[in-house]
Structure 1
Amino acid sequence: MHDTPPPADRQRIDLTRETDVAYWCRIFDVSIDELRDAVQHAGHDPAQVQRHLGAKRPGPAPAR
């Protein structure tokens, strides 16, 4: 799975192409279901999907 080539169009997440799905799952470190959910909520723009996924994940604890 680490040898998955990048999609031809890196500006859009295409859930119909298996190789694209594998690539974006690897890039975002998410499951296929998590990627589909993120695309459903945020759209097909990778930047928007990344923001959506980042908002769902707890960040590091604030420094004191």
Structure 2
Amino acid sequence: MELASRTMIIAPARIGFFRFILEAYDNLALLTTIDEREGRVILRYSEEMAPEVEQLLLALAPQLSPPPPTT
């Protein structure tokens, strides 16, 4: 089984929510937090599950988007 990974930046306050959603999908993917303050995470999943992961990411994008940078 080949693994794919994707490094992402999401809203820091939504990391727990995202982890919960992934667990609800029978561990569709594994989420590892790299930097909690910045919301930097790595998502690892089987290449076989890539279409499902992509579909989920598209559906959750509005909820996971980080806030705009402050000036």
- Bigger radius of gyration among the two: 1
TM-score (norm 1): 0.28
Higher percent of residues as helix: 1
**Which of structures 1 and 2 has the larger relative contact order (alpha carbons within 8 angstroms, sep 6+)?**
2
Higher percent of residues as strand: 2
